[in-house]
Chains A and B, each alone.
Chain A
Amino acid sequence: MLTVTTVTLLLVMALALSRAFVGPTVFDRILAANMFGTKTVLLIAVIGFLFGRPEFLDIAMVYALINFIGVIGMLRLIEYLEDENSSSQEEDA
């Protein structure tokens, strides 16, 4: 069953990856990146059990944290960029 889960996770990661390529907006990409991160956490946890070396869980934990930090950071900066864009547009108008 662990193997099945691993394969499914890889599949879902591929799906998320294709969403990240297709895009259309930045937010789709962030969503895909976030989803990808969650899947990675799960994948590493499952792989750890599959190989019988649960030390891998530390890495999964780092992912869970870093993923959150990354998403928050991206959002903040995109917000900043959008603000700048809108203010420059107002100046143009």
Chain B
Amino acid sequence: MTDMLLTHYNYWVVMVLMMIGFYIVIAQGNLVKKLVGLNIFQTSVFILYISAGKVSGGSAPILDDAISVYSNPLPHVLILTAIVVGIATTALGLALIIRLREAYGSAEEKDIQEQNQC
């Protein structure tokens, strides 16, 4: 069990983060906060990928004659683009929130649902 803890701690951290983000997304009423939760969730996925690409004893994947072991560059590439796409989608979400607020006068999920039912 302690072995497990020592070798797999990165996944555990990722899971904790992911669940916190997930919780914020489901349980919180405020749309902006939901978006923050979504960001946290997103970051946990980033961390999962990056930690999967780490090779112990490896170094940053920039070729150099003095270094023989590199970490895996592929997850880095994937996540690099994912971050920028993430900010673009976040901006889109924020824009939607602004429009919702203008239409309904509130950024709370509950208020919006109530107004929809009327």
Q: Which A residues lie at the B interface, using CB under 8 A?
A: 51, 53, 55-56
Contact = CB atoms under 8 A, between A and B. Distances in A.
B59 interface: yes
B96 interface: no
Nearest to A51: B59
Interface string B33-71: 000000000000000000000000001101000000000
- Size band of the interface chain B makes with A: under 10
A49 to B, nearest CB: 14
A61 B60 CA distance: 18
Nearest to B67: A53
A51 B59 CA distance: 8
A55 B62 CA distance: 9
Nearest to B60: A53
Interface string B55-91: 0000110100000000000000000000000000000
Contacts of B59: 51, 53
Contacts of B60: 53, 55-56
A53 B69 CA distance: 13
B98 to A, nearest CB: 14
